[in-house]
A and B are shown apart, each in its own frame.
Chain A
Amino acid sequence: MSYALDFGWLNEALEPILQGALATIFLTAVTAVLGTICSILGAMAARSGSVALRGAIEAYVELIRNTPFLVQLFFIFFGLPSLGLRLDATVAAILAMTINLSAYGTEIVGAGLDAVSRGQREAGQALGLRPRLVFLKIVLPQALRVIFPALTSQVVIMMLESAVVSQIAVRELTYQADMLQARTFRAFETYLVVTGVYLGMSVVLRRLMVQGGRKLLAGGVS
């Protein structure tokens, strides 16, 4: 038996694929921003000296890191409405992705904060800077510079994992692929093309973040 690959459908499929890709980029971008902020807050809270707060953050990180993203997503989208919290699919996806990314991010940012030497903080205090300024202007930028590659990888991983949010009918790239293959009956070709799009997106995203990070963090953020 022989099977000829057929990409004749591709012309009409370009638009939905583009729409899906844009939706995936949107989800990833929103999650990256929210997730980074939450990760910084989480890492700060874990180092605030409050035992209860540290315990809560540790429990959160362990819980998220030891369960699949798909379960977290379904729990939020299907489980929370029974508590009276009904979320739109896109909101649920962003919430689940942010919660997931922040758990890994908290560990990453925390490692970065620990890597900044105490002398830096003490020097800032000796200059009479308020603790908040010492953190924002001295400790955090140095920590971010150390952990930026790790954070970039985690964001790329999150983008790839976001493929499963198609399961709650968020109209991102995989959802569009599902719709396309149901229409064209060319499942393999459809997923092959979309896999290529994902690959391109992850390569470009990684490059953009590395370059952007270098520009943003070079010479210390002020």
Chain B
Amino acid sequence: MDFTFWDILRNLLLAARWTALLSLVAFIGGGLVGLGILLARVASRAWLRKCAALYIGLFQGTPLLMQLFLVFFGLPLIGVRIEPWSAAVIGLTLCASAFLAEIWRGGVEAIPLGQWDAAKSVGLHYVEEMRLVILPQAFAITRAPMVGFLVQLVKMTAVTSIIGFEELMRASNAINNATFEPFTVYGLVALIYFVMCFPLTRYARHLQSRTQN
């Protein structure tokens, strides 16, 4: 079977949908889990803070590929059936949660202590203090690094091809094996990733310059 240039491009673009979906799901999932990690990371109890710091350190100090392998081969051991898509989602979600929690921690620590005192003095208890005063400000300060991390996450999804998830990278390997045109295929793949990431990078930079001014 012969592949024309357009066949290659069409198949790559179809696979790129999975890259986009995985990035989005992992970003949202990572945000939800990361919120929990963040709350532990800035909690008043020292052991909670330590556990959260350990969690973040583990994910930032080991290769993503190893994390994916551990999820992929580990969950079946405790009786959870798993296929590449769910392993990719779980692995990337956990990894993203660590990175996002660390980003947000920076935001929380940048908030002047007076804000905490003010929240307490108007009688807010912990949940409301976090929800109404601390977190909205922390999220607002860290919008640029959050978008920056989303770029990183899109690039991270390429590694899930190694555990067999059919996203852009894995599709490109299959197409390359069928066409023997690695220069064209991987060149196009790089271009597609670039088109996905570059606008986000620009947006992150825009947010960055706005917060600095």
Residue numbers of A with Cβ under 8 A of B are 1, 3, 62-63, 65-72, 74-75, 78-83, 156, 160-164, 166-167, 174, 181, 187-188, 191-192, 194-195, 198-199, 202-203
Contacts and interface: CB of A to CB of B under 8 A. Distances in A.
B73 A191 contact: yes
A62 B201 contact: yes
B134 interface: no
Given A69-B155, A191-B70, A164 B186 contact: no
A3 B70 contact: no
B158 A82 contact: no
A103 to B, nearest CB: 12
Nearest to A70: B158
Nearest to A5: B77
B61 interface: yes
B137 interface: no
B64 A160 contact: yes
B169 interface: yes
A79 B194 contact: no
A199 B182 contact: no
A192 B63 contact: no
Nearest to A167: B162
8 tightest A-B CB contacts, nearest first: A68-B158, A163-B63, A78-B182, A66-B197, A187-B73, A68-B155, A75-B186, A195-B66
A154 to B, nearest CB: 13
Interface string B173-199: 100100001110111011001100110
A45 B163 CA distance: 40
Interface of B: 58, 61-67, 69-70, 73-74, 77-79, 151, 155-159, 161-162, 169, 172-173, 176, 181-183, 185-187, 189-190, 193-194, 197-198, 201
B70 A70 contact: no
B204 to A, nearest CB: 11
A163 B194 CA distance: 22
A67 B62 contact: no
A25 to B, nearest CB: 14
A198 B151 contact: no
Given A79-B183, A198-B61, A3 B158 contact: no
A164 B66 CA distance: 10
Contact of A163 (B61, B66, B187, B190): B66
Main secondary structure of the interface of B (DSSP, over half): helix
Contact of B77 (A3, A65, A69, A174): A3
Given A3-B78, A194-B66, A202 B61 contact: yes
B182 A82 contact: yes
Contact of A71 (B74, B193, B201): B193
Given A68-B159, A75-B187, A156-B61, 18 more contacts: A65-B151, A65-B197, A66-B193, A68-B155, A68-B156, A68-B169, A70-B158, A70-B159, A70-B161, A75-B183, A75-B186, A78-B182, A80-B183, A163-B63, A174-B63, A188-B73, A191-B70, A191-B73
Nearest to A194: B66
A62 B198 contact: yes
A164 B182 contact: no
B65 to A, nearest CB: 4
Contacts of B198: 62, 66
Contacts of A67: 155, 190, 193-194, 197
A68 B190 CA distance: 8
B155 A199 contact: no
12 contacts: A66-B194, A66-B198, A66-B201, A70-B158, A70-B159, A74-B182, A75-B187, A78-B176, A188-B70, A191-B69, A198-B63, A199-B61
